[in-house]
């Protein structure tokens, strides 16, 4: 297989490019040159947002292209139109955020969607991803377009700061504010499992939308944080706290306490997706312990400091905020 990766030097794109190289695929990475391409991949340099920024893609043909773009849909539109006659299939890594709010618990791929347009410029995240889906489908047609609607993505190379924050915090030890209940299921996808499934789907000629996160019950908040304690070997004391107490103390779900959401609409939207279609198409998810341990090993190789996307705000409580929240909790 000849694969063109639009991006391919960070997080999801890099994981997909490396997975394709491990399969012996011929991989070309189109990127801005800010980070090194994976070893073994050919590089094409260009900035999709600049005038004539796609010039490096004027020639060449590939079996498939994978695109992770998450900003202006018109950028996806321009690339897809340019490549439509020289690439077999277009896989667009989208998001479950494209479902209209509030998504029902257990929502499948047939749920109502937000509005979007392939011609839009910069838009809010959900509308941008939906516009990207429409742009890819418009150029390649429904039978040649795969829409990978990922949920929460974790694992090595993460540059958003969620699992790296938990690992860093737990590695410091001491009392750690742990959002409960510890038995609450959480859904996420290891970036390497996303990569493997996407490449399998491309090779099999799959098309249309697929929700891509772990099946319900794959792990819990307790399973995730316990795995962090074991991976780091830290003497952390997880202080499990019920949602009502956390909210009353002013702790912000998702941003200050990454991954965690209290019961309600947000939780249903993020952690209860129906992924039976992807599972039937071969989705396999590695144990949470492996995701956490490998992410910790990667972090240690970087001196404990993960890269951070400039367009995403860093996640997690500061030391001062954690101390404030712990102090505000009811005393036993």
Burial tier of 285 (Cβ tally within 10 Å: 0-12, 13-18, 19+): buried
Residue 305's pLDDT band (cuts 50, 70, 90): confident
Query: Can you give the pLDDT at residue 221?
Result: 98
Grouping H, G, I as helix, E, B as strand and the rest as coil, residue 313 is: coil
Does this model's pTM top 0.85? My answer is yes
Q: How far apart are CA 133 and CA 105, in angstroms?
A: 23
Convert the pLDDT of each residue in 12-23 to its tens digit: 999 999 999 999
Convert the pLDDT of each residue in 190-204 to its tens digit: 999 999 999 999 999
Q: How far apart are CA 210 and CA 150, in angstroms?
A: 8
Query: Can you give the pLDDT at residue 332?
Result: 64
Query: Can you give the pLDDT at residue 60?
Result: 97
- What the block records as the tokens of 257 is 């306490």
| 3 contacts 64 by C-beta, under 8 angstroms | yes
Query: Can you give the pLDDT at residue 306?
Result: 85
Does the structure show a pLDDT above 90 at 312?
A: no
Convert the pLDDT of each residue in 121-176 to its tens digit: 999 999 999 999 999 999 999 999 999 999 999 999 999 999 999 999 999 999 99
Does the structure show a pLDDT above 80 at 311?
A: no
Query: Can you give the pLDDT at residue 308?
Result: 85
Q: DSSP of 146-205, one letter per residue?
A: EEEEE-SEESTT--S-HHHHHHHHHHH-EEEEEES-TT-EE--EEHHHHHHHHHHHHHHT
Convert the pLDDT of each residue in 36-90 to its tens digit: 999 999 999 999 999 999 999 999 999 999 999 999 999 999 999 999 999 999 9
Does the structure show a pLDDT above 80 at 314?
A: no
Q: What is the mean pLDDT of residues 266-295?
A: 97
Does the structure show a pLDDT above 90 at 5?
A: yes
Query: Can you give the pLDDT at residue 238?
Result: 97
The answer to whether the bond into 181 is cis (omega within 30° of 0) is yes
Convert the pLDDT of each residue in 226-257 to its tens digit: 999 999 999 899 999 999 999 999 999 999 99
């Amino acid at each position: 297989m000849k694969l063109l990766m639009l991006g391919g030097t960070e997080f999801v794109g890099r994981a997909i490019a490396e997975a394709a190289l491990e399969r012996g695929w011929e991989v070309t990475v189109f990127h801005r040159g800010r980070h090194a391409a994976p070893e073994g991949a050919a590089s094409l340099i260009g900035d999709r947002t600049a005038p004539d920024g796609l010039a490096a893609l004027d020639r060449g043909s590939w079996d498939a292209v994978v695109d992770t773009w998450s900003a202006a849909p018109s950028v996806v539109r321009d690339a897809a139109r340019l490549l439509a006659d020289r690439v077999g299939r277009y896989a667009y890594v989208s998001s479950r955020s494209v479902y209209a709010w509030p998504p029902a618990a257990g929502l499948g791929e047939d749920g109502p969607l937000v509005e979007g347009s392939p011609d839009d410029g910069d838009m809010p995240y959900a509308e941008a991803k939906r516009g990207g889906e429409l742009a890819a489908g418009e150029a390649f047609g429904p039978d040649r377009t795969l829409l990978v609607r990922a949920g929460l993505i974790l694992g090595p190379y993460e540059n958003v700061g969620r699992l790296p924050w938990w690992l860093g915090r737990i590695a410091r030890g001491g009392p750690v504010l742990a959002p409960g209940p510890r038995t609450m299921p959480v859904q996420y996808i290891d970036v390497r499992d996303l990569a493997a499934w996407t490449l399998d789907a491309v090779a099999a000629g799959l098309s249309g939308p697929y929700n891509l996160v772990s099946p319900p019950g794959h792990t819990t908040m307790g399973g995730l944080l316990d795995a962090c304690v074991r991976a780091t070997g830290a003497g952390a004391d997880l202080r499990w706290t019920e949602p009502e107490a956390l909210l009353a103390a002013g702790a912000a779900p998702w941003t200050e306490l990454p991954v965690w959401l209290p019961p309600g609409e947000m939780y249903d939207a993020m952690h209860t997706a129906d992924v039976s279609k992807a599972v039937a198409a071969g989705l396999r998810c590695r144990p949470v312990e492996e995701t956490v341990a490998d992410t910790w090993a990667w972090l240690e190789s970087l001196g404990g400091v993960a890269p951070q996307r400039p367009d995403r705000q860093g996640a997690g409580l500061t030391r001062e905020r954690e101390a404030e929240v712990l102090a505000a909790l009811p005393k036993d």
